[in-house]
Chains A and B, each alone.
Chain A
């Protein structure tokens, strides 16, 4: 009995046993109605929504900050760098929300899976670039927050060597951070969170997602 067709009956019998094992009863529905059960799409929505909200607030605040600092070119430049980063973050978050809102699980499987995979690639790219570029934003962030929170112009107080040293530190932090991440993921090899972070930065997650997208596209093409 090696033919797929001949196995249909056995498969059905097995299915009847499984149906009895499944808890498809009122308890399940009660859990569903009390929102005890999560869903992938909910998880996909809340993070970009939060990023979008934070990005908009940051941009509004930075515009006001820049307006008030027009006489100080270094602070204006720092503010503009942060504003550009916040704007890019907001655009990425908005794109993710648009993609996720277009997903309907009742649509054909290959179509939904392709959309989910595209969303995943978008998310991984955003995480990767955020992690790689955030050390470079450290100096503008220190200058802007020093002025806004403490009322201190750090460049005047500490001098140009401090600014340049911090910029250099930002560049140095990128390879240092990558090494630390590799070390941490070896140390905590069993931790899925570390592995995922390492794979995101190294581009392995992206490569996997792109492979999945290609698999889906191949499945949709005529065999």
Chain B
């Protein structure tokens, strides 16, 4: 175990703030839940930081912890409030086609089972198949097949949406 410095930790945390924000947003239902989840992830990262091996990629280590905390958090929230409608919090509303597509993507992602959601988050963050496999603990071929299937499902959903809009 090496001595962990607050400065080093914060520096790395800030560098990966976007990823943490997206994980928190994808697994929390409300702004308050997202803030709680963000804090839980940071807390767990800080506790585990002394055991982090600098020879290994920080993003892989961070993604594993963030996703594990987020999935546990989401499960706990679901058990506490099963009567609420499931669904992740949305980013601030914007205008235009891109925002509309983004809303659809968010809805699609929030409807996925927790592990597939994690896989899509990693893929959208342009992680390599190898890194996705390492973070999730599945084979690269499994990652590849699942991404292919998810793309197909998204395409179907977009097609149905377009048909609905034109019909």
A positions within 8 Å CB-CB of B: 1-5, 7-8, 10-12, 14-19, 21-26, 28-29, 31-33, 37-40, 104-113, 116, 189-190, 192, 195-196, 205, 212, 215-216, 219-223
Assuming the contacts A10-B102, A22-B20, A23-B35, asked whether A2 and B138 have C-beta atoms less than 8 A apart, the reply is: no
Assuming the contacts A24-B38, A110-B138, A220-B138, asked whether A10 and B71 have C-beta atoms less than 8 A apart, the reply is: no
Interchain CA distance A17-B92 in the complex, whole Å? 9
| Cβ A23 vs Cβ B76 within 8 A | no
The residue on A at minimum CB distance from B9 is A29
The proximity string for B residues 34-49 relative to A, scoring 1 for CB distances below 8 Å and 0 otherwise, is 0100111011101110
Residue in B51, B105, B135 whose CB lies within 8 Å of A11: B105
| Cβ A7 vs Cβ B20 within 8 A | no
| Cβ A15 vs Cβ B137 within 8 A | no
Residue in B6, B20, B137 whose CB lies within 8 Å of A109: B137
User: What are 30 sample pairs from A and B whose C-beta atoms fall under 8 A apart?
Assistant: A4-B150, A10-B101, A12-B18, A15-B21, A18-B21, A29-B42, A32-B42, A32-B43, A37-B42, A39-B47, A40-B73, A104-B48, A105-B44, A105-B48, A106-B48, A106-B51, A106-B65, A108-B135, A109-B135, A110-B136, A113-B68, A113-B115, A192-B81, A215-B115, A219-B115, A219-B116, A220-B138, A222-B139, A222-B142, A223-B149
Q: Looking at chain B's contact residues, is the secondary structure mostly helix, strand, loop, or mixed?
A: helix
| Cβ B20 vs Cβ A28 within 8 A | no
B87 close to chain A: CB less than 8 A? no
Inter-chain pairs besides A2-B159, A17-B91, A223-B142, 6 sampled, C-beta below 8 Å: A11-B102, A12-B18, A22-B17, A106-B51, A107-B64, A113-B115
B165 close to chain A: CB less than 8 A? no
The residue on B at minimum CB distance from A208 is B79
Interchain CA distance A220-B38 in the complex, whole Å? 27
Query: Please, which residues of chain B bring their CB within 8 A of the CB of A15?
Result: 18-19, 21-22, 125
| Cβ A14 vs Cβ B102 within 8 A | yes
B130 close to chain A: CB less than 8 A? no
| Cβ B46 vs Cβ A32 within 8 A | yes
Rank and list the top 5 A-B pairs by shortest CB-CB distance, nearest first: A108-B137, A18-B21, A2-B158, A19-B17, A37-B43
Query: Please, which residues of chain B bring their CB within 8 A of the CB of A4?
Result: 120, 123-124, 147, 150-151, 154
The residue on B at minimum CB distance from A14 is B91
| Cβ B138 vs Cβ A29 within 8 A | no
Q: Looking at chain A's contact residues, is the secondary structure mostly helix, strand, loop, or mixed?
A: helix
Query: Please, which residues of chain B bring their CB within 8 A of the CB of A16?
Result: 18
Query: Please, which residues of chain A bring their CB within 8 A of the CB of B57?
Result: none
The proximity string for B residues 82-112 relative to A, scoring 1 for CB distances below 8 Å and 0 otherwise, is 1100000001100001100110010000000
The residue on B at minimum CB distance from A44 is B72
Interchain CA distance A40-B20 in the complex, whole Å? 18
Query: Please, which residues of chain A bring their CB within 8 A of the CB of B91?
Result: 14, 17-18
Query: Please, which residues of chain A bring their CB within 8 A of the CB of B151?
Result: 3-5
| Cβ A18 vs Cβ B137 within 8 A | no
Interchain CA distance A28-B20 in the complex, whole Å? 13
